[in-house]
Copies of this chain bind each other. A is one copy, B any other.
Amino acid sequence: MPKPSRSSARRVRDVVTIHDVAKHAGVSPMTVSRVVNGERYVRTETRDAVLASVRALNYAPNQAARVLAGAEERKVGLLYGNPSAAYLGEFLLGALDECGRKSAQLMLQKCATDDDTIERAVLRKLIKSGADGVVLPPPLGEHAGVHALLREHDMPAVAVSPGLPLTHCSSVRIDDFRAAYDMTRHLMDMGHSQIAFIKGHPSLSASGERLRGFEAAMREGGCKVQRAFLVQGYFDYRSGLDAAEKLLARPEPPTAIFASNDDMAAGAVSAAHRRGLDVPTDLSVAGFDDTPILGALWPAVTTIRQPVAQMAERAVDLLFKEMRAKRQGVRAAFVDHVVEHSLVKRESVAAPRRR
């Protein structure tokens, strides 16, 4: 007989264990363990029966026991460069949530992207402190050096928001092309045809995708894109302000400015105000990202919302799949997960005034 059932004095909360499930399903604890961990060599009927018992008893594995028994990775590294604090905050919310569900530990590690030796040191630190996988929010998700280092250490990783799917790493992203396309269509639907575009940082592929989406929508809508209406920006407030200044100083300024992100859109609004222009009466402005803080500005900026928290959750989830695959000696196929964006209409866009 295995054990005289449950009667330990110290057990206070009466949690359901793997033994309870095993008894309920009429199998051994080992089989339950196998089912719960998605291992092979379990008949479908057995698996179903166990899963039914799991649901019936509302069983949840004890993570501490899992770890102690020498299985189950526990630490997820989050390597971040210099995203805005707001982005990072929302990202953390999602990542933490998923890590909580999985009872994993989230380890943050800041990483300057301008020096390769630093990256090396940072990553070593992450590995040393026991990380079993890494999530890479932008812009690190596209950093070749970081990826090379990760592969060197055979460390599973998931990139968030690269502009395009990666060949050597799973990714979670929105369809930047489509999103920019949608926004441009919205501006045209509102009656704009003289639309300027402030490009994003050239090192990120998302910038290119957004530009392509803009151009495609314009072309499709029969609007010619003037060369002068495409201005380079770098994703920060200042560059948006400078770009908008340049645009508004033209003899025939645009009626709408579509900035590749919110910070630059805020800069554009500021530039308009300096010139005594009202937004949206004299100029419509659209952004991209739905940075929380900008929703509080006035006028609130129409933008594309990325479900950042949800994306972070997905990224952690994917990462776990890869970490598990790695332990079992399998190489998981890389996944490219595209989540839905949405267009958030606010006060900064209106129909253009007649000229």
Contact = CB atoms under 8 A, between A and B. Distances in A.
Interface of A: 10-11, 62-65, 67-68, 70, 74, 84-86, 88-90, 92-93, 96-97, 100, 103, 105-108, 236-238, 241, 263, 266, 270, 273-274, 276, 291-293, 296-298
A96 B86 contact: no
Which 6 A-B pairs rank lowest in CB-CB distance, beginning with the nearest?
Answer: A89-B89, A64-B67, A85-B86, A85-B292, A85-B89, A64-B68
A62 B70 contact: no
Contacts of A63: 64
B105 A298 contact: no
A226 B168 CA distance: 65
Nearest to A71: B10
Contact of A68 (B65, B89, B238, B298): B65
A296 B238 contact: yes
A95 to B, nearest CB: 10
Contact of A105 (B70, B93, B105): B105
A90 B67 CA distance: 30
A97 B108 contact: yes
A10 B70 CA distance: 8
Contacts of A89: 85-86, 88-90, 92
A297 B237 contact: yes
Contacts of A103: 105
A85 to B, nearest CB: 4
A124 to B, nearest CB: 16
Given A84-B86, A85-B293, 7 more contacts: A84-B296, A92-B93, A96-B106, A96-B108, A105-B105, A237-B296, A238-B296
B292 A84 contact: yes
Contact of A100 (B62, B85, B105, B236): B105
A85 B96 contact: no
A19 B267 CA distance: 61
A71 to B, nearest CB: 10
Nearest to A267: B298
A298 B237 contact: yes
A92 B94 CA distance: 12
Contacts of A97: 108
A100 B276 CA distance: 50
Contact of A62 (B10, B68, B297): B68
Contacts of A84: 86, 292-293, 296
Nearest to A91: B89
A86 B293 contact: yes
A236 B300 CA distance: 13
Contact of A92 (B92, B274, B291): B92
